[in-house]
Structure 1
Amino acid sequence: MNTIYPLAVPKGRRLCCEVCEAPAELVCKACMVTYYCGPVHQQADWNSIHEKICQLLIPLRTSMPFYNSEEERQHGLQQQRQRQMHLIEFCYTIAQKYIFEGKYANAVPAALHSLRFRRNLYGLSSVELVPAYLLLSEASLGMGHTVQAEEYLSQAQWTVLKSTDCSCATHSLLHRNLGLLYIAKENYDEARYHLANDIYYASCAFGTEDIRTSGGYFHLARIFYFLEKWKLADTLYTKVTEIWNKYLYDHYQVLAQARNQQIDLLGKLLETDTGLDEAQEAEAVRILTTILGIRELETDREPKKTVFVLKTLIMLFFLMNSSNARDYANRALFIAKERNFNVQEQRDLQDLLDLVSME
């Protein structure tokens, strides 16, 4: 990290901190195009996202070269646009992943990057800014900064109200974040209203049984759980698990069949991913482990529901190539034996354990 020398800055140009937009005093020595107010924000940005995109920022933040023709200029502009779009999605996904992992402070710089690139590409009032505002709101909520979260949500709402072409997916995200805000405020009536709207819009965009809709069911179940409405919470938690189980089973079957057929490429196939991006994987882990924690409290009464969540987590971690799959398989088989599941159910779990234990 290098100190900025004021005399080296062109007259009239104001250098701002990447994180807080205060006057900058330091510049990243690796890219020389990113500025900070001090070492604290530099380190925060580096830990969050800058290390991953440092060199990618150079062509975006330096003057475009001289082009010999209009065709070359248009090609250069198109490349710039593609770079910006890539960084918008990359920073957004990383910020989402941090949020699902509970690393809210780390999510903020990444979400801010996504927001700035969106502003540069789409303008200050575009509905494309809404997802970034919502990420910043959720990160703020996670850190307990309710007022800041409300400010970001207000910006998102105002942008949606001004838009004539806002998608159902964006409406879903907005209502989900409003639901989370009211959960944090313990205003469960308002939270239920917004989460019901979240489910409606997500269903319109993706379908009622899609993993992208499952988040609305999950948060609605949390409300009923808080209110001690066990049957409603149980129904929704079961639905969420079923949605993820069906999605993961389709991917898992490919690997299971490969093993059974003893395909020579099995070692390569075992590295097949989940079909999810990093943020979606983190969301699946968070949702399913939360449900598992609740189910384990009721294992004595309903062990099969606990095992069903465990089997879903086994498939998830197996597809993620994580050793956690084996641990969950052992737990599921132990419950099945302890609770005297029938022979076929125990055999199926043993087969599952054998598969995920293969190196």
Structure 2
Amino acid sequence: MNVIYPLAVPKGRRLCCEVCEAPAERMCAACTVTYYCGVAHQRADWGSIHEKICQLLIPLRTSMPFYNSEEERQHGLQQLQQRQKHLIEFCYTVAQKYLFEGKHEDAVPAALHSLRFRINVHGLSSVELVPAYLLLAEASLGLGRIVQAEEYLFQAQWTVLKSTDCCNATHSLLHRNLGLLYMAKKNYEEARYHLANDIYFASCAFGTEDIRTSGGYFHLANIFYNLKKLDVADSLYTRVSEIWHKYLNDHYRGLVQARVQQMDLLGKRFENDTGLDEAQEAEAIRTLTSILSIRESTFNKTPQKTVFVLKTLVMLCYLMMNYSKAQEYAMRALSLAEEKQLDAQEQNAIQELLCLISAEDHPIT
């Protein structure tokens, strides 16, 4: 990562740090359109998102070329806006992935980029800014910066209140993050209220059994688990597991059936086999491994539920082509099923998974 120092600033122009908006002293040598207050913030931005979008920023932050006609100029403007819209979603997904992986510091620069591109495309008061505010709030919570998280959430809440066309999905995200805030403050009653609203709005947007609704159930289960209300927590963890199991099992069965029919799947695997983006995959891993850990440590009287979560993780890792991890979870599931003498059908299902993993010709990732 090379840097150069800007030698002169155009009159009337203030160069600001990409991360904190303080006066800039450094410039990225690769794109020459991104500035930083110092090496620490340049390194943070580079590791988070800048390395991935460095060259994409050049046409967005330099003067538009001369066009011979108004039609060409409008076409150029449309292309510019499409690039910004692409970067909005790309930076948002990267930031989400970091959050699900627990990398809160890394999520901040990516979320800031998503916010800035949203402002450029939609304006300062648009409800389209809310998802980026919520990412920044969640990252702040993860870093223990409660006051900063509240500021971002207040901005998001105020934007939603002013909007007349806020969708159910955005309402869901807002209430989920408010629930997380009150969980961090150990105000579980207020947290439950917001998570109940999260589930309601997510159900309106996606349905009650959708993976995008399951996050609300998962966080609600965590509240009851912290309150030692284990029966309620257990039922909610079961529901989350069943939602993810159904989703992954549908994809898994479709893949197996395609192979039986000797279909060429190479063209279908250029991204992944889960039907999820990287952030959703990270969410699935975090959610299911958390439930597995809790089941193994607390609900030891229901081994079949632990096996169920292990099998769900097997399918997830298999579809992500992480065959070594899939095999590990399958072996743990089979060992527990044999130890607790679960029915033969259960053991056969796990053996089927193991055979399919072993038959893979792809390299272990």
Please give the range of the TM-score, normalised by the shorter of the 2 chains: over 0.9
Aligned counterparts, 1:163-174, within 5 A? 163-174=163-174
Q: What amino acid is aligned across from residue 356 of structure 1 in structure 2? A: I
TM-score relative to the length of structure 2: 0.95
Q: Does 1:307 align with 2:297?
A: no
Q: Which residue of 2 aligns with 1:265?
A: 264
Q: Which residue of 2 aligns with 1:19?
A: 19
Q: Which residue of 1 aligns with 2:212?
A: 212
Work out the percentage of aligned pairs sharing the same amino acid.
Answer: 74
Deviations along 1:5-58, one digit per CA (max 9) or x if unpaired, are 1xx321010000000000000000000000000100000000000000000000
Note the residue ranges of structure 1 that are not aligned, 5 or more in a row: none
Q: Distance in 1 between matches of 2:32 and 2:265?
A: 46
Q: Distance in 2 between matches of 1:60 and 1:293?
A: 45
Q: Which residue of 2 aligns with 1:317?
A: 317
> Which secondary structure state, in structure 2, belongs to the residue aligned with residue 45 of structure 1?
helix
Q: What amino acid is aligned across from residue 341 of structure 1 in structure 2? A: L
Q: Which residue of 1 aligns with 2:354?
A: 353
Deviations along 1:293-335, one digit per CA (max 9) or x if unpaired, are 0111246411100000011111111110112111100100111
Q: Does 1:256 align with 2:256?
A: yes
> Which secondary structure state, in structure 2, belongs to the residue aligned with residue 166 of structure 1?
coil
Cα gap change, 1:352/1:299 in structure 2, threshold over 3 Å: closer, same or farther?
A: farther
Q: What amino acid is aligned across from residue 219 of structure 1 in structure 2? A: H
Q: Which residue of 2 aligns with 1:327?
A: 328
**Which of 271-280 and 221-230 deviates more?**
271-280
- How many angstroms does 1:168 deviate by? 0.6
> Which secondary structure state, in structure 1, belongs to the residue aligned with residue 21 of structure 2?
coil
Q: What amino acid is aligned across from residue 3 of structure 1 in structure 2? A: Y
Q: Which residue of 2 aligns with 1:114?
A: 114
- How many angstroms does 1:259 deviate by? 4.1
Report if aligned partners of 1:270, 1:321 keep a CA contact under 8 Å in 2: no
Q: Which residue of 1 aligns with 2:363?
A: none
Aligned counterparts, 1:31-50, within 5 A? 31-50=31-50
> Which secondary structure state, in structure 2, belongs to the residue aligned with residue 84 of structure 1?
helix
Q: What amino acid is aligned across from residue 159 of structure 2 in structure 1? A: T
Cα gap change, 1:151/1:235 in structure 2, threshold over 3 Å: closer, same or farther?
A: same
- How many angstroms does 1:234 deviate by? 0.7
Deviations along 1:210-265, one digit per CA (max 9) or x if unpaired, are 1000000000000000001111111110000111111111110022224445x263
Q: What amino acid is aligned across from residue 37 of structure 2 in structure 1? A: C
Q: Distance in 2 between matches of 1:235 and 1:302?
A: 12
Report if aligned partners of 1:130, 1:159 keep a CA contact under 8 Å in 2: yes
> Which secondary structure state, in structure 1, belongs to the residue aligned with residue 160 of structure 2?
helix
Runs of 4+ aligned structure 1 residues displaced above 3 Å come to: 258-261, 264-272
Q: Distance in 2 between matches of 1:329 and 1:270?
A: 23
Aligned counterparts, 1:57-136, within 5 A? 57-136=57-136
Q: Distance in 2 between matches of 1:83 and 1:126?
A: 19
- How many angstroms does 1:183 deviate by? 0.2
Q: Does 1:245 align with 2:245?
A: yes
Q: Distance in 1 between matches of 2:162 and 2:267?
A: 50
Q: Which residue of 2 aligns with 1:149?
A: 149
Q: Distance in 2 between matches of 1:170 and 1:269?
A: 31
Q: Distance in 1 between matches of 2:328 and 2:280?
A: 22
Q: Distance in 2 between matches of 1:172 and 1:300?
A: 33
> Which secondary structure state, in structure 2, belongs to the residue aligned with residue 27 of structure 1?
strand
TM-score relative to the length of structure 1: 0.97
Q: Distance in 2 between matches of 1:152 and 1:307?
A: 40
> Which secondary structure state, in structure 2, belongs to the residue aligned with residue 164 of structure 1?
coil
Cα gap change, 1:351/1:270 in structure 2, threshold over 3 Å: closer, same or farther?
A: farther
Q: Which residue of 1 aligns with 2:339?
A: 338
Q: Distance in 2 between matches of 1:73 and 1:268?
A: 37
Q: What amino acid is aligned across from residue 171 of structure 1 in structure 2? A: H
Q: Distance in 2 between matches of 1:320 and 1:133?
A: 30
Cα gap change, 1:75/1:266 in structure 2, threshold over 3 Å: closer, same or farther?
A: closer
After superposition, the CA RMSD in angstroms is: 1.3
Report if aligned partners of 1:255, 1:270 keep a CA contact under 8 Å in 2: no
